[in-house]
Amino acid sequence: MKSILTLLEILSVMKLKLFISASLLLVSGSAFAEKYCQTTPPSFSINIESINILPGAKVGDIVGQSVLQQKITKCSGSPTSENAYTDTRQNVGTGIYINWPSYPVGPGYTQNCEAMESGFPGLGIAWVNFNSGKWVCASINPDGRINRGLPRDGERTIYDQIFLVKTGVVGSGSGESELFDFNKTFQFDEVVINRDGSIINNYGPLYTMTLSGRTEIQAPICTALSKSDSFNFATEDAVSKSYTSSPLQVIDINCSGVIENGTLASFKPISDYGMFLLDNNYFATSDSGVGVNVEYTANDDSTSHTLTPSGDIKVPITNNKATINLKYTPYIKDGSGTYPLDKNIQFNLKLNNGNQS
């Protein structure tokens, strides 16, 4: 009797093993079903090293782009219609849009394409995809997913292009150069979907694109250069109390790096002779009894401002340039007892914003 029970137990274990093996075989067949579509090339890299942020670049301007990527997808033997699918729910929109490329010719499902955040302040990524004669925005989509039809038997040419877009003030505002180092993978899967958009089967990647780039975003540097090497005014005007102002001395401001239009560049006045001891609202000269009053206008604004030794000049930058017009008037404080007749009194003024001495 004991041997019979043992035999039954053995048979029971064998049945259990057979059942488990059959189940595993069934699961494996479902999870690794044969793909019906093949794309050539199946994957490729996009590298954008050159990011050109021009002076005065506006929000919405394209500052870098990939070449138009073309690929062929061939499908055969599928028992049902399939789609190219990508999930956009993790992408964060910027509210900045670009127009569709001019080639291939075709309309878009939306008016334009919204850029998503790239991870670097002020720069977004717009991904556009062309399939079946129409463009679609694959970076940001209201549905959170993109479904593009694939041929059941046949082939189709698909296009993709990536754009880097200015979405705001570029960089953290630290005043230092910053490194934009990005790496992102874009992928379409081969899927079968329900009418409600849910996925029935996902056969894995249809094709993948890897976008990478590493570029230094240059911090703004502004320098001041006078159009005249020396500037003189007659001291007898000061003696006679005429206080005749000198002609304007024009200072050109030139900036490099990424700087927004309208940014105020600040310059501190530096004089070799410092502050006028008899009145600290004026600059000193080589003669202790003569000071200098300095006024300035900026760019095309005719409003005149007085510059003191402890003050500064703030000039708006447009397209990385600005102009400062300086006007000098000699000054003698009443009762100082000094009436210089020497025409060779020296005065020197430099503008410094920390980038030049």
CA 198/CA 188 separation, integer angstroms: 15
CA 270/CA 71 separation, integer angstroms: 62
- Residue 99 domain flag: yes
Per-residue pLDDT at 51: 81
Per-residue pLDDT at 8: 34
Whether 271 contacts 348, CB under 8 Å: yes
CA 62/CA 38 separation, integer angstroms: 33
Confidence of residue 238 (pLDDT cuts 50, 70, 90): low
Count of domains for the chain:
2
Q: Which of 193, 217, 241 delimits the end of a domain?
A: 217
- Residue 291 domain flag: yes
Per-residue pLDDT at 287: 83
The range of the structural domain enclosing residue 308 comes to: 221-352
Q: What is the CATH number of the domain that holds 234?
A: 2.60.40.1090
Confidence of residue 335 (pLDDT cuts 50, 70, 90): low
CA 105/CA 111 separation, integer angstroms: 14
Q: What is the CATH number of the domain that holds 191?
A: 2.60.40
Q: Which of 201, 217, 233 delimits the end of a domain?
A: 217
Asked if residue 193 and residue 52 are part of one domain, the reply reads yes
Amino acid at 186: F
Asked if residue 50 and residue 184 are part of one domain, the reply reads yes
